[in-house]
Amino acid sequence: MKGYSYRTGEHEPTTSLPLWEALVTDAVGDVIEFWGFKRNHGRVWALLYIRDQAMNSRQLCDSLELSKGAVSMITRDLEDWGIVKRVRPPESSAWHFVAEVEFMKMITHVLKRREGKLISRVQTDLDDARRLAEEADGTSEETLERIDRMRRLAGMMRQAIGIFTKTARFDVSDTRDLL
């Protein structure tokens, strides 16, 4: 987990951006990285959100010092997750991007997919383990009980994530949603 230039000196200062914008984009980048996404996903979304205007690929490259390829991949992800919209302004031939306000959509969306895949596989494997342990000689009742506890743990974990994603359903679209 990385820090950012203003406070920690870990990153090169982002020269082309006013300091306050760099602070905001880097802060969002750090938060999003904490959740297992890429730092630059957060930085791109944050810049679009804070500017509140459509920006094209070149502008994003320059502002955030990313390569063309990186911007292409990142914007595609953000678009897939539904937190950035791609628009073609009449006066321009280039695609522009605008931020959707449902920031938490991103987190909950991918979090759900990830945990869904993982937990279901874990559950089937623990089911298999229990069956195999039962068939094996000399497996005590206590051991089977411990496997069962882990199986229930997997179920509980799914539940916990569900509660979390429900809690995080708020977004930055309306002040009233926030506290």
**Which chain residues interact with its own copies by CB under 8 A?**
1, 3-4, 6-7, 18-21, 23-24, 26-28, 30-31, 34, 36, 46, 49-50, 52, 103, 114-115, 118-119, 121-122, 124-126, 128-130, 132-133, 136, 142-143, 145-147, 149-150, 152-157, 159-160, 163-164, 167-168, 170, 172, 175, 178-179
Distances (CA, A) of 17 to 4, 12, 88, 132: 14, 12, 24, 59
Rounded-to-integer distance, Cα 20 and Cα 22, Å:
5
Rounded-to-integer distance, Cα 30 and Cα 150, Å:
33
**Binding partner of residue 15 among its own copies, DNA, none, CB cut-off 5 to 8 Å per kind:** none
Coil vs helix vs strand at 84: strand
By C-beta, is 12 or 69 nearer to its own copies?
12
User: Does 70 participate in binding DNA (rule CB under 7 A)?
Assistant: yes
The interface with DNA within residues 6-65 (CB under 7 A) comprises 38-40, 56-58, 65
User: Is residue 57 within 8 Å of residue 94, measured between CB atoms?
Assistant: yes
